[in-house]
Every structure is written in C-alpha cells, then in structure tokens.
Amino acid sequence: MEIICNQTQLIGALNTALKAVSVKTSYPILECILIETEDNSIRLTANDNDFCIEVVIPATVNRVGRIAINARMFSDLIRKLPPNDVVISTDETFSVSIVCGKANFALRGLSGEEFPKPLAYDNSNPVVISQFTLKELIRQTIFAVSTNESSRVMTGEYFEISGSRLRVTALDGFRVSIRNVELRGSYEPHNVIVPGKVLSEIGKILSGEMDEDVRICFDDRNIIFEFDHTIVHSRLIDGKYFVIDSMINTECGTKVTLNRRELIDSVDRASLFVKETEKKPVVVEVFENYISVSINSQSGSMYDEIMSEREGNDMKIGFTPKFLLDILRVVDDDTVNLYMQNSKNPCFVRANDDSYIYMLLPVNIGSH
C-alpha cells in the first residue's frame, strides 16, 4: 500500500475513529485502526466489537492495500506532524513507513486481513434526521441512561419510530427523560434499544449542523448511523423496554412556572451542602408568588427564594439536587414548568408542546 493524504484531514478522521478503539483488550488487532485504499480515498475503520466506526477521506492511492496500525501510536504521531502531505507506505512484512517533509518514521503494523470488518447492511430505507436534532436529543436524554450493567435495557435509549413521530426515552429508576421529535418522512413502526455508550460517542462526533443529515438504518440486531463521511455501526440491546406511558400523568396537582437559570443557580448552591457521607435533599416549597429553595445539613444550611407563577395548591417536596440540575441544565427554554401532585409522587418538567418530558422521583423529606 502507498497513499498520500493531508495531515489535517487524517487527524480529523482519526479523532472520530479513535472513539471505537478498544482501550482494554488482550487482542492487539483491536487496538488498531485499519487503513484500506479505495478509489481516490482511504477508509479508516476502528472496531471494539460492540461498536464500529468507519471514516473515508480523500487520498492519492499509488499502490492499493490495507494495513492495521496501533491506533494510539499512529494518531499521536500524525498529530505531531505539520499540516502537510503525509506519505504512508507498507511492505509485505507489515512494516509501515510514514514520511512528512524530511521526517521519516518506521512503525510495526499488523495484517489488515485479520481486522474484524463490520457486516454489510441494507441502507435502502433509512430514517433521516438532521445532525442538529440528533445531537440535541442525545444531549437532552443521555444523562438519564443507567450505568448499572445489571439491567442491560436501562443502559440503552429506547427509540420508537411510528409514522412521522420519533420518541426517545432514557431512564435509570430515579428519573425518566423523553424527547418527542417530528420527522420529515413517514416510516413503518420500529422500536429498538440503542446502547447509551454509543449514542454518547455519536453525540460528540456529530457536527450538529441544521442542514446536514444523519441516515439511520436498522436490521434485527444492529443500528447504523451514516453522516458526513462517517458510518457508525452498533449492536442493539436485546430485551423488552419499560412501558412508561401510564406513568406520564401531569394532569392534576400544582404547576409552577419560573426562570430556569434562577432555579439552576439556587439548586446549584444548595448542592454544596450535599456530602458523600450525608445526602440531604433540597426542599422546594411552592407559594403563591414564589418558591423557596432550602437545604439543611451538618456542613451548613441555605434558604433562598425565587419568583414564580403557581397554578393549583401550595406544595412541599424534596429532590436530589444533582438529579434536578441534570434536567434543568439540558432544557433550552428560558422558563420551565414543574408539575407536582404531592410530596410522594413524581415531579414532571414538561415543555408546553411536549417536545421534552422529564419525570423525577422526589426524596422523602419526612418532618423536615
């Protein structure tokens, strides 16, 4: 193989592909990036067996071939080169020569034939969504995905497609986050559980542009995201997701509307008084024209008031400050609506148009 490509484009592609390189593995081949020649381009592939990323960049191909190179070493080296042309060539013993200007490097590679390539898939009928929307919906739901591997389905996000509607749900037993998105096309019903870890990486790679699309393809066991010159393959999580519709009930009780930033600042200050050893709740009391935010722990106490509008009754309810902050921080609106029934039932943070719905379990505040 002998190719010439641009250092800046190569680094961009490596930064994307690196996210699917295994960090801890006893197989040296899984620590590699596969480089393969195509027509006037090269394809970089990384595969940690759960999830695989392919990126294609333009290149001059002088001699076709493929080689697997240790991803960390290769990207560290390319990163330190000037933004010029890089010549990469290999021989039949898998030694790799990298030349950039007067600098010459030699590395050991591995046979590209041993590298686990992703399977072919059917991309004839993709679900199309803008990069902006996908990036936003991941950011606004991912925090509620469970990191506890003992319940596999909770480590994923539930994608429900039906007609022109996409609903994405994440939950971890303490809170639920839901995003509803209107799609441009109309699709057959399709429900899948996508690993949270993969979505989190995709969220970092996506440019987030409004006018660039992501094409999402499924088969029985895999989901594939195509965007820019990138393809991300992931296994789906097998299992039955929770039925949450019956839980979403914000009809009755108290509704409070208030400035999101002021509530974040106040709860953030209260969170200072939560220590590893003493997880005290932040207590929200709803009055006619304001809410009070307070906390009382061994390390000190806080009392604060925020102007708000109330419908319904007075209310006193306790939350884990971090969980409330997680929700408030991903909402984009200037004002938020909190729906509460009583101090024992879930609190909802819900957009007027239902584009987002968050459910948060309260914490017992006893005789506080």
Site residues (vs a copy of itself, CB under 8 A): 73, 76-77, 80-82, 102-108, 265-266, 268-269, 272, 299-306
Which residues lie closer than 8 Å to 286 by C-beta, 6 or more apart? 254, 256, 308, 310, 313, 314, 315, 316, 340
CB of 31 to a copy of itself, least distance (A): 13
> SS3 breakdown of the chain: % helix, strand, coil, rounded to 5?
25, 45, 30
3-state secondary structure 268-326: HHHHHHCECCECCCEEEEECCCEEEEEEEECCEEEEEEEEEEEECCCEEEEECHHHHHH
CB of 72 to a copy of itself, least distance (A): 10
Q: Which is nearer to a copy of itself, 76 or 219 (CB)?
A: 76
CB of 337 to a copy of itself, least distance (A): 22
CB of 264 to a copy of itself, least distance (A): 10
Q: Which is nearer to a copy of itself, 85 or 265 (CB)?
A: 265
CB of 73 to a copy of itself, least distance (A): 6
The torsion angles phi and psi of 137, rounded to 5 degrees, stand at -70, -30
Q: Which is nearer to a copy of itself, 64 or 272 (CB)?
A: 272
Q: Which is nearer to a copy of itself, 181 or 264 (CB)?
A: 264
* Other CB atoms within 10 Å distance of the CB of residue 302: 17
Q: Which is nearer to a copy of itself, 247 or 272 (CB)?
A: 272
